[in-house]
Amino acid sequence: MTPVFSMFSTIPFQSFRWIVLSSAVLATGGACSIANELPHATIRVLTYNVQFLPEPASAKNERPDPAYRAGQIAEQVSRFDLVGLQETFHTEHRRQILDQVRQRWRDVFHLVESPTPEGFFTSGGCLIATRLPILCSNSTVYKHFSKPSDFGLRADGYAAKGVIHARVARSESTPEDFIDVFATHLEARDDDLRPLQYGELATFVGSRSSAAHPAIVLGDMNTRGAKPYRDDPESQYSQLVKQLQGTRPEGRLIDVWPYLKGDALGGTTEQESHEIGKRIDYLFVLNPPQPNPQLVPISVDVLLFQDPRVVALSDHNAVAAELRWEGKK
């Protein structure tokens, strides 16, 4: 949700690449062999916009003490099996999170990150980290985004926002038992462009996932998802759901929060309570038709990650779910 370059008045529009060290780092089309087996019948998933803006825009982070925040975030997210983070723009603090998560996972660590193509100042800021083996990965950058010529230094177009994909297996010995995971951060500045990104997201999900296996789509979608928007067939939420459901016409799309929590708000933009603010961060499950494998949501929570030192660890709340990973019936 945060504009990336609200402080960038003197930095030229240019691009650079980041190198992140890990035990298994995947770029587009990569693969890895280090693996671990899911130690339980469920998979614990988290999505979290952590707001680490790049220098010098990091001065505009809502929360202070970024090194402290990074350490606390690493401790929190390491409790999960699959983690999708957004706004990991800052090289140092992103590496700090990843290094500490890797240590807590005892080096059983696999990663996919947003690329930084030519013409963008920074990557899209998304990453997927997991304890489980990644069979392959892909990424795309959105073609529609707010441009500096229209929005100045507040434009999303300085960052190569898009979608990253990881095909995650239950274990190295069962590569046929997998789910497709997609992480994204949608347009924050120009509301009219966001539906175009829904189409790009859906096209990518449809082309990179297996129709016979479950998929997870998660991230900060900058799309209002409270009950009035879910009930409005013309809302952007309804457009997003229609596009994602269209990737699995015979399957089922599940928005995990209302599926389990009904009409509860589930706000993710205010750290005082999830009963206020906007619901813009999501965990979706795309299941194929039976008797194919399924992901069954069994719990979901909005985690405020309040902290006495920095008020809260980010300007967003995290969304966490436990999903039962079922094989063929």
Q: What is the pLDDT of residues 124-134, one digit of tens each?
A: 999 999 999 99
Residue range 153-167: mean pLDDT, rounded = 91
Mind listing the pLDDT tens digit for each residue in 223-262? Answer: 999 999 999 999 999 999 999 999 999 999 999 999 999 9
Q: Stretch 150-160: mean pLDDT, rounded?
A: 85
SS3 state at 203: helix
Answer yes or no: is pLDDT of 18 > 50. no
Q: How confident is the model at residue 123 (pLDDT cuts 50, 70, 90)?
A: very high
CATH topology of domain 25-326: Deoxyribonuclease I; Chain A (3.60.10)
- 36 phi and psi, to 5 degrees? -140, 160
pTM for the predicted model, two decimal places:
0.89
pLDDT digits (tens, 9 = 90+) for 251-292: 999 999 999 999 999 999 999 999 999 999 999 999 999 999
pLDDT at 8 over 50: no
Lowest mean pLDDT among 22-26, 188-192, 195-199, 234-238: 22-26
Q: Where are the domains of the chain?
A: 25-326
Contacts of 21 (CB under 8 A, 6+ apart): 95, 99
Q: Which residues make Cβ contacts (< 8 Å) with residue 24, sequence separation at least 6?
A: 32, 33, 34, 109, 110, 111, 134
Residue 64 C-beta-side C-alpha neighbours within 13 Å: 4
- How far, CA to CA in Å, does 317 sit from each of 48, 148, 241? 7, 28, 22
Question: Cα-atom radius of gyration of the chain, to the nearest Å?
Answer: 18
Contact 254, 285 (CB under 8 A): yes
pLDDT at 190 over 60: yes
Task: State the CB neighbour count (10 A cutoff) for residue 8.
Answer: 22
Mean pLDDT over residues 84-111, rounded?
97
Query: Is-cis flag, bond preceding 117, omega within 30?
Result: no
Phi then psi for residue 268, to 5 deg, are: -120, 10
